[in-house]
Structure 1
Amino acid sequence: MKLDGKVAIITGGGSGLGRESSLLFSSEGAKVVVFDINADRADATVKLVAEQGGQAVAVHGDVRVEADVKRGVETAVAEFGKLDIMFANAGIVSRGGVPSVLGGEHLDFQDFPEEDWHKVIDTNLTGVFLCAKHAVPALRANGGGTIIATSSAASFAAYHSISPYSASKAGVNGLVRGLSLDLGKYGIRVNALAPTHGMSPNFLMDQGADVVGQSYEQMQVAMQPGPWDPGVSPIPLKVGRPPAITDNAKVALFLASDDSGYMSGVVLPSTDGGTLARVAIQFEEDTPHPWYDQEG
């Protein structure tokens, strides 16, 4: 088992990548503190962990609230005796986020409310800061450990209508790099994963919505006739199944485990499938370009 005897806190553990990672980490031997702003979702994840034979406790809290984050770390130490892994995964998308087919409200940037800016930054960036801050004493007491953050492909490339979200995730990348230098002397590694595909639609839904448990792409297949067709997917890598939330959770597992024991300060694109390798302007293969003389 890759995490045998380890203790992990996973924020946003009630749904999406957080829930999938809670189940995966548990299956690899970790004891898990499931931290979520939605108490019912956190409790449901704990139940699922128990059903597969693992150990977990729920903490109802908000990563924007320092006292809540501190309580999450204290719970890990009180319940399981230590902390090895802080996975700062909780995040929200800015209003007007993509895809709009899920009912998101489109907003022009000049109409974006200041309070929404602060909500996005406080959750996605300050939340990671607070998780790291309060994890450090427990990790140092344990002789070291690892901090993982969930960044995003939007920290590397532009997406329509979510520039505040992109800014928050770019901030996460900078924080990860800085903390890797500051905390390395304590034997603490700090890394992030940046998902592109294979994420949960719950990310764009109301917090009270049912937990979907599948990726956007898997849901797309479920709503259309026939199987997954990689030929029509915009993902450059063509494989015979859609990307799943588990694909991202496995990257989080890699960063949490000793398999990445000498990695720190890294932001690792996950479920990318070559998407971020594209140039800004896409050209069809074998299409002549007007400024290029085919005769040489």
Structure 2
Amino acid sequence: MRLEGKVVVITGAGSGLGRESALLFSREGASVVVTDIIERRAKDVADLIGERGGRAVALKVDVTVESDVAEAVAAAVRQFGRLDVMYANAGVTVPGQGTVALEDTTEESWTHVHDTNLKGVFFSIKHAARVMKDQGGGTIVVTSSASSLAAYPSFTIYTASKGGVNALVRGAAFDLGKYGIRVNAICPTHGMSVNFGLPADAEVVGRSYEEVSGPWDPTYAPMPLKLRRPPNLLDNAYAALFLASDESAYMSGVCFPTTDGGTLGRVAIQFPEGWELAQQAAFAGDNENP
């Protein structure tokens, strides 16, 4: 098992990618401190891990409150004796899910998004590093977003917060590497949770946007890669697992897209089927009539 004997704290683990990662990490041998701003959600995940033979404790944590994050780290040490992996996963989207224009965005929205997505990651890195430094090393994983690499329309303040996360990851990797602490981020594109756009206390769906959008037809999939199934939460969780495990021992300061399917590899101009033939014909015509 890839995390045998390791102790992990995961923020925002009551639903979505955090929940999927908590279950996966437990299956891979980790003891997990499951944290969420909704205490019931955290407890449900911890109970499920216990029912499946794993070890987990639940804790209510608001990542915008530094003392909450510090307590999550302390709980790991108190319950399991150490902290090997901090997975700073908690995040929020923009109010209105892209329906509010940039010029109409409020200061309160900016503060809420940045306090959760950026300051919460800073608190997670800060307090995990204090313990890991004394232990002689550790691993920090962060959930960023593909929007940090290519802007999403009407999600500008979210994009700004995730761009800040990537810079924070690179800087922290540089500062903490001398202590044997690695810091990396995943930047998911597809396969993210429906719950991400729902209220914090909504029912946990446990499926991706693509999985609930209707019958899957790869012909009309939004990504260039055509597979017979839609992307899901586990696709992203496996990338986080790789960064949490010793398999990525010499990776640090890296922010890489996950469940991308080639989306970030294409240009904005859309090329229809058969465009090459039309292009060749056009050039042939030009050559005949210089």
Tell me if both proteins adopt one fold, taking TM over 0.5 as the criterion.
Answer: yes
Taking structure 2 as the reference length, the TM-score comes to 0.95
- Contact map agreement 1:69 1:130 (CA 8 A) in 2: yes
Taking structure 1 as the reference length, the TM-score comes to 0.93
Q: For the residues of structure 2 that align with 1:141 and 1:81, how far apart are their CA atoms?
A: 13
Q: Which has the higher helix share?
A: 2
Matched, 1:190 2:183: yes
Per-residue CA distance 1:112-136 (angstroms, 9 max, x = gap): 1101101100100010000000001
Matched, 1:157 2:145: no
TM-aligned CA deviation for residue 156 of structure 1: 0.8
- Contact map agreement 1:96 1:162 (CA 8 A) in 2: no
What stretches of structure 1 of length at least 5 have no aligned partner? 99-105
> What does 1:56-135 align with in structure 2 at a 5 Å threshold?
56-98=56-98, 106-135=99-128
Q: For the residues of structure 2 that align with 1:211 and 1:147, how far apart are their CA atoms?
A: 26
Per-residue CA distance 1:227-253 (angstroms, 9 max, x = gap): x21111111111111111000000000
Q: For the residues of structure 2 that align with 1:207 and 1:200, how far apart are their CA atoms?
A: 12
TM-aligned CA deviation for residue 48 of structure 1: 1.2
Matched, 1:248 2:248: no
Query: Which one of 174, 193, 202 corresponds to residue 195 of structure 2?
Result: 202
Q: For the residues of structure 1 that align with 2:284 and 2:209, how far apart are their CA atoms?
A: 41
Matched, 1:167 2:157: no
TM-aligned CA deviation for residue 286 of structure 1: 2.4
Which one has the largest radius of gyration? 2
TM-aligned CA deviation for residue 81 of structure 1: 0.3
Q: For the residues of structure 2 that align with 1:294 and 1:132, how far apart are their CA atoms?
A: 59
Q: Which runs of 4+ in 1 moved over 6 A?
A: none
TM-aligned CA deviation for residue 76 of structure 1: 0.4
> Is the partner of 2:95 in helix, strand or coil?
coil
| Count of residue pairs the alignment pairs up | 283
RMSD: 1.3
TM-aligned CA deviation for residue 141 of structure 1: 2.0
Counterpart of 1:229? 217
> Is the partner of 2:92 in helix, strand or coil?
coil
Q: For the residues of structure 2 that align with 1:167 and 1:247, how far apart are their CA atoms?
A: 25
TM-aligned CA deviation for residue 96 of structure 1: 2.7
